[in-house]
Amino acid sequence: MPPQHWDTPLDYEVYGALGHVIGHGSVVVHDDSVDMAQMARFALEFCALESCGKCTPCRIGSVRGVEIIDRILAGRDRASQVIALRDLAETMQHGSLCAMGGMTPYPVLSALDHYPEDFGVDHERDRTAAAR
């Protein structure tokens, strides 16, 4: 969640209206030296660790998600891998059997959307490049 939303009341519907999601009650505290890309990667890695393995979007998707973020951070095929990450996020959100796979993409996407610099991604630059 970007700084401009930090005064939002902690309410499911209010967050939902902003496109954010409140999870199941855990609170992660960090200071401003945090690397949001690493947090996004950790969300996917945690999903892979916890995954029961029954449904494919989560079982395979969580592992692939970590691999994609690693490629993005290494600067390999960054533009297309960002697209892949968004596709994967959508697949996991809508295709997962349960909310674990279904909700994991939210922190990943909000990190990518609001803290792209930690990913080495410049949305403006990428949009312009895509338009060309």
**Site residues, another protein (CB under 8 A):** 48-64, 67, 80-81, 84, 87-88, 90-91, 94-97
Query: What is the DSSP annotation of 38-69?
Result: HHHHHHHHHHHHH--S-SHHHHTHHHHHHHHH
CB of 76 to another protein, least distance (A): 9
Give 96 or 110: the residue with its C-beta nearer to another protein.
Answer: 96
Give 36 or 47: the residue with its C-beta nearer to another protein.
Answer: 47
Of the candidates 63, 39, 43, the residue with the CA atom closest to the CA atom of residue 53 = 63
CB of 6 to another protein, least distance (A): 29
CB of 30 to another protein, least distance (A): 26
Give 87 or 117: the residue with its C-beta nearer to another protein.
Answer: 87
Query: What is the DSSP annotation of 76-121?
Result: SSHHHHHHHHHHHHHHHHHH-SSHHHHHTHHHHHHHHHH-GGGGT-
CB of 21 to another protein, least distance (A): 14
> Are 92 and 104 a contacting pair, CB within 8 Å?
yes
Give 90 or 113: the residue with its C-beta nearer to another protein.
Answer: 90
